[in-house]
Structure 1
Amino acid sequence: ALTPVFLDVFYRASEEYQHIKTVFTIHNIEFQGKYGDSLIGDILGLPDWARPLVMNGDCVNYMKGGIEASNAVTTVSETYAQEILDPFYSYGLEGILSSRRYKLHGVVNGIDQVLYDPKTDNKLFENYSVKNYATKKAENKKSLCEMINLPFDENRPLIAMITRLTSQKGLDLVGAVIDDIMRADVQVVILGTGDWKYESMIKSAQERHPNKFRAILAFSSDLASKIYGASDMFLMPSKFEPCGLSQLIAMRYGSVPIVRETGGLKDTVPAYNPETGEGKGFTFKTYNAYDMLDAVWRTYATYNDKDNWNKIVKNDMKSNFSWEVSAKKYIDIYQSL
């Protein structure tokens, strides 16, 4: 964040630096780099005239400096670029962002589609493609259930979460209605670590529903792949989500996402329309546990309508989330400066 600040303050006067342009990317606006104002002279070595570049209120704010001094600002989805103009999402930077919105761009992240490929992923129990996922995903689910000691039923949907256990990821919504979800003929597996209260919450859910719920308090890329390959549905009820990669990986593996319409989730998971056969998942708008629960019920109902369900899975597995698409958008921004 300080690179464009230092360029402007210390180097811009030199002819060899005058034509250099900078692009600053905001991933998660919550993490801004805030410090006491004593840093300006003692640590950063900035002159007094440069204070307005990095000061936000009574503290130094690195992110504000990057926004002020860069030629363009990007963030990791188009919807998030609009959301951070709102005080609910901006963590105090809505003013500076609104005044600089002319240089703000949103570009969705991509994933490595060679690395995340169910046809070749050697961490899966069984590899599969869009042509044979129906039988092979069932085999993956059976093997995963055996591994984590869950009873297996081919017709019972498995809902997965692979996430940091934090408030941002919507765990409060999950905790509020998990017992309602478990009344349906579903199973749930959550893989992740994080805040103690959420770890305790999902461990308690497992104790109440030992044959239907698994809380795995760890992170393992090997196990994550197995869960992507075995699950039928992937829950991401985030409070906010700059981009999100898990929903992209889930779709690649044919696990239908259930997401809140925020940030990159809104941009990458259009709601399924049974009349047109278009769409990639199930969505809800407000950060409310019962709106999330309604989305889960809609997903569950469609799971039992195999014609529509197979359309969604195929839509997901055929999606192109490669970096090639995103890279072209970044190149356009660079070339416009």
Structure 2
Amino acid sequence: MHIVFVASEMAPYAKTGGLADVAGSLPAELANQGVHVSSVLPRYGVIDPLAEGFVYLEPSLVFGLAGATRKPHVWHRRAHPNHDIYLLEEPGLYDRPGLYGMGGRDFADNDYRFAFLCRATLALVRALRINPDVIHCNDWQTGIIPWACGREMAGVFPTVFTIHNMGYQGLFGQESMWAMGLHPSGFTGDGYEYYGAISCMKAGVMAATRITTVSKRYAYEIQTPEFGFGMDAVLRGRQDAIVGILNGVDYSQWDPLRDRLLPAMYGPEDLSGKHRCRALLLREFDLEQPREGRGPVVGVVSRLTGQKGIDLIIQSAWRWLSGTGARLVVLGNGSKTLQDQLRGVQGFHPDQVGLRFEYNEELAHLMYAGCDMLLMPSKYEPCGLNQLYAMRYGTIPVVRATGGLDDTVEHVRLDQDTGTGFKFEHATADGVTWGMWRAIEVFRQPGPWTRLVRRAMAQDFSWSHSAQKYIALYRSIAGAPLLEGQRK
């Protein structure tokens, strides 16, 4: 079986979020399980192909887009006997400081940039005579591929379209049709038209053979008005094609027993290394250790956005910092307004709050190792990987019960000595406060807390399980006829 896997970012080459982790790990695991995978992504300016072991392919691709002949360069690397990686290079298009934009604003030509990725991928498939069984596409940046395969080329290849975050839909004005190579006949309610605009997300949803989301609960949530971002009715129309498959974790990168980014490695039977990481983490943030048994170190590793519930942390922090001895350490970047408000919290609790407004992979590893709890009060969370990393490092998640957070965290029940974290239902300051006070209450009981830490560390969210589900999905549609919802 041969799968073409297309994404706008892929770890370790180019990353802004969890999509890159998935695009880096899932194809690698599929390859380990005997599936031949060809991964495709843009060659961004942050990628040095020669340093990463890529070789330049001749000849360049040739295809038409926006009234001109395009000839992108192609770089290739064989990462595994079953895994080929291709970088698509177009001078002036991807060689910019940011992947999607700069200074908090999207690039004005993202319509063309990612239509180019889609059209060039299909040209690559033709030029190399790959003949895939399935093309697996990810988020709006690749939504034109299912549209092209299902509507423009009469189902030439089955497609899987994975929705990682419904909040980003790739919306562009009607005038972008030409730049994206879209025919006006598709600008209809059962096509890619969305309230008078072009939606790349809707193009993928309407035309893909199967649609996946990154957790079971999120597959349900996006079909509701609260989480569907206006597209819930469209998704309900294709509910028979939607399946939730949980993301996994690459434990070769995220395991405290072998994490060389940590100052001390450790496992569930000997947590002394975690205690050392805790001390060094507090020193990194210029905070003193809480008195023995007094208060936990609570971490936030997140983009600073409203979706992540950062405003709820700001509104509630005084309630669970005051009088508890807790420490709050925040690592992330994003909204300047939220940064200023977090500085305000720090101003009221200077001995308890540490802030680092940056993306720092090494410090993130130390956060997962050195914190006692990870706070994730997301208003919606398609899957979430941070809570999975945290559990493996013995850091207990305190989360809102939504999406993948609800699927992966089992609420603690002391009377049964079960659970792996703490969940609260409502995305409010009161909800966060309830969850934090419950967690602090258990933290102050050394025996139950240590058993909780060890249960969390024993959880297995490896990619091998998720990959098996994707393989079954691929097999179910390979060579499948078009569904009614895919036809013109």
Q: TM-score range by the shorter chain?
A: over 0.9
Q: Distance in 2 between matches of 1:152 and 1:174?
A: 22
Q: Please state how far the C-alpha of 1:9 moved relative to its aligned partner.
A: 3.3
The change in CA–CA distance for 1:6 and 1:145 in structure 2 (over 3 A counts) is same
Q: Which of 355, 359, 367 is 1:215 aligned to?
A: 355
Which residue of 444, 461, 471 corresponds with 1:331?
471
Matched, 1:59 2:197: yes
Q: Secondary structure at the match of 2:344?
A: helix
- Tell whether 2:169 aligns with 1:29: no
| Alignment-derived partner of residue 5 in structure 1 | 147
* Counterpart in the other structure of 1:204: 344
Cα distance in 1, alignment partners of residues 357 and 476 from structure 2: 46
| Aligned with residue 183 of structure 2, among 43, 47, 50 | 47
Q: How does 1:173-184 map to 2 (within 5 A)?
A: 173-183=312-322, 184=324
SS of the aligned residue for 2:187 comes to helix
The letter of the residue matching 2:159 is T
CA displacement, residues 63-85 of structure 1 (integer Å, 9 cap, x when unaligned) = 11111111100011111111101
1:236 equivalent to 2:376? Answer yes
Q: Which residue of 2 aligns with 1:149?
A: 286
Counterpart of 2:427? Answer: 287
Which residue matches 1:273?
A: 413
List per-residue Cα deviations over 1:208-233 (Å, max 9, x = no partner): 21211101112211111111111101
Residue 138 to residue 65, structure 1, CA distance change in 2 (3 Å) = same
In structure 2, the partner of 1:118 is 256
Matched-pair contact (CA < 8 Å) for 2:411–2:419: yes
Report Cα offsets for 1:216-254 as digits up to 9, x if no partner.
112211111111111101100001111111111111100
Task: String of CA shifts for 1:146-174, please: whole Å, max 9, x gaps.
Answer: 23221113433100001111101101111
Contact conserved, 2:151 with 2:207, CA < 8 A, in 1?
A: no
CA spacing shift, 1:221–1:45, aligned 2, 3 Å? closer
Letter aligned with residue 208 of structure 2: S
Q: CA deviation at 1:335?
A: 1.6
Distance 1:43 1:222 in 2: 40
Q: 1:219 and 1:311 mapped to 2: Cα distance? A: 32
After superposing the two structures, state which structure 1 stretch, 214-223 or 143-152, moved more.
143-152
Name whichever structure is richer in helix by fraction: 1
Opposite residue 165 of structure 2, the aligned amino acid is N
Checking the alignment, whether the CA contact within 8 Å between 2:145 and 2:204 is kept in structure 1 is yes
1:140 corresponds in structure 2 to 277
Identity of aligned residues (%): 33
What code does the residue aligned with 1:202 have? Answer: L
Query: Which residue in the other structure is 1:263 paired with?
Result: 403
Distance (whole Å) between structure 2 residues aligned to residue 95 and residue 147 of structure 1: 48
Q: How much does 1:120 deviate?
A: 1.3
Q: Tell whether the 8 Å contact from 2:149 to 2:158 is kept in structure 1 after alignment.
A: no
Tell me by how many angstroms 1:272 deviates: 1.1
Structure 1 residue 336 displacement after superposition: 1.7
Q: Measure how far apart 1:188 and its partner are.
A: 0.8
TM-score (norm 2): 0.66
CA RMSD of aligned residues (A): 1.3
Q: Distance in 1 between matches of 2:442 and 2:326?
A: 13
Matching residue of 1:38: 175
Once the two structures are superposed, the pairs formed by residues 240-251 of structure 1 within 5 Å of their partners are: 240-251=380-391
Aligned residue type for 1:101? Q
Q: Deviations over 1:162-197 (max 9, x none)?
A: 111110110111111111121112111011111011
DSSP-derived class of the 1:241 partner: coil
Cα deviation digits, residues 20-63 of structure 1 (max 9, x gap): 211111111111111112233x2233334333321122111111
Q: For structure 2, list consecutive stretches of 5 or more residues without a partner in the other structure.
A: 1-142, 478-488
Alpha-carbon offset, residue 274 of structure 1: 1.4
Aligned-partner Cα distance in 2 for 1:139–1:210: 23
Between Structure 1 and Structure 2, the one with more strand by share is 2
Aligned residues: 330
2:354 partner letter: R
Structure 1: gaps spanning 5 or more residues: none
8 A contact 2:150–2:207 mirrored in 1 = yes
- What does residue 307 of structure 2 align with? 168
Letter in 1 for 2:363: L
